[in-house]
Amino acid sequence: MFNGDKFQSGAASGMGAGESKAEAAPPPPNATTAAEAPAAATEEEKFKEEVRTAAGQFKNLVQGNKVMMFSATYCTYCTVAKRTLEDLGTAFQAVEVDTMGREGEMLMNVVAAVTGARVVPAIYICGQLVPGGGTGLRQLAAAGELTGILERCCDGDATCADFAQFRLHGH
């Protein structure tokens, strides 16, 4: 309503047009009470430990395998990438992240942080990400470049047969 030279709503107030009279504001959704603070700190520490563990696993897998693939059982691009390597007789390690529960989710968070995308397959040869995943690997093979990359990585042997492979415990 207009009352002389100022707008008023219901009861007279000195509030501006974009303001509303707030009752006690509820706490933000992520706010914790004093009683919840220790539990929240514990959950945060638990999450940080999961991230550290996953980052360590990622590092061990990528550094411990000449050819490493983060894969998923439902992924057709992953299947193509595996067949491409198998056709060359190349030994590789694949971790099926979709079968690993929370551990797989955390590994994919690390893959996403490192690569900028949460996608499979994420393929590493000698610690270097293969751009384009399965399609990129297939293109390298079709262009005749993959064999040379593998030979440089595996001391002249594109099969990488002489290199021990590191597996994630239990996977």
Domains for the chain: give ranges and CATH numbers: 38-153 (3.40.30.10)
Instruction: Quick: pLDDT tens for 23-59.
Output: 444 555 555 555 566 777 788 899 899 999 999 999 9
In the 8-state DSSP scheme, what is residue 27? Answer: P
Nearest to 147 by CA among 95, 70, 93, 87: 87
Give mean pLDDT, residues 155-167. 83
pLDDT at 41: 75
Instruction: Quick: pLDDT tens for 77-96.
Output: 999 999 999 999 999 999 99
**pLDDT grade for 9, boundaries at 50, 70 and 90:** very low
- CB-based burial label for 129 (10 Å; 0-12, 13-18, 19+): middle
Instruction: Report which of residues 26 and 99 the model is more confident about.
Output: 99
pLDDT at 168: 62
% pLDDT > 90, the chain: 65
Instruction: Answer whether the bond into residue 29 is a cis peptide, omega within 30°.
Output: no
Return mean pLDDT, the chain: 82
93-96: strand order across its sheet: 93-96, 67-71, 122-125, 128-129
What is the distance between the alpha carbons of residues 109 and 106, in angstroms, rounded to a whole number?
5
Q: Would you give the distance in Å from CA 110 to the centre of its chain?
A: 4
For the whole model, what pTM was predicted?
0.73
